[in-house]
Amino acid sequence: MDTIKTIAVALATALVAVLGFGAIQGDNLAGAPGINILPSAQQPYSGAVYSTSTATNSTLLTEAIDDETVVAITLTQGSGTLTLMASSSVPGIPNPGDMRTIYIRNATTSASVTLTLAGATGVTLKRAASSTAMLIGDTDGSNTFKVDLYRKANTDIVANLTKFED
């Protein structure tokens, strides 16, 4: 049984690497314990934090969310705007219907410094009618946007925005 499991793990690993299925996790692939191939939309991310600072305005870099799930941005000279990257640059969701969630935190600890989030080429920002795309600063630097990204059939991205503030 160990030989069969070893072969199954090797084959699953090859499929993930060559065909880009996503990740191996869980307990079920043809009855082999410890193996489950997740589609790329369910690929687990590291949970790492990408921290950056900018004077006022910036564009979110692909490297900020390639493995990370949280972007902590500190505005150093006043309120500013963070523009999402173009839809062609959003990592981890290559196929229509793929989705992932990122968090963007206003790490600025001054209540007078706001962070505004903006869409980009091929990225439509959606928010609740009663909400704005602006986060105020906070003394603990923890006011956060939750951004649910999903790829449409035409390869554009919809970014659904939820805001969490004190």
Tens of pLDDT, residue by residue over 101-160, are 999 999 999 989 999 999 999 999 998 877 788 989 898 999 999 999 999 999 999 999
User: Would you place residue 10 in the very low, low, confident or very high pLDDT band (cuts 50, 70, 90)?
Assistant: low
User: Would you place residue 166 in the very low, low, confident or very high pLDDT band (cuts 50, 70, 90)?
Assistant: confident
pLDDT of residue 128: 81
Tens of pLDDT, residue by residue over 20-45, are 444 444 444 444 444 444 554 454 54
User: Would you place residue 8 in the very low, low, confident or very high pLDDT band (cuts 50, 70, 90)?
Assistant: low
- DSSP states of the chain as a string? -HHHHHHHHHHHHHHHHHH---EE-SS-BTTBTT--EEPGGG-----EEEEEEESS-EE--GGGSSSEEEEEEEESSS-EEEEPPPGGG-TT--STT-EEEEEEEE----TT--EEEE-BTTEEEEE-TT--SEE---TTS-EEEEEEEEE-TTS-EEEEEEEE--
pTM of the full structure:
0.71
pLDDT of residue 129: 76
Q: 2-16, 68-82, 85-99: which range is least confident on average?
A: 2-16
- For the chain, domains (ranges, CATH) are 2-38 (no CATH), 44-164 (2.60.120)
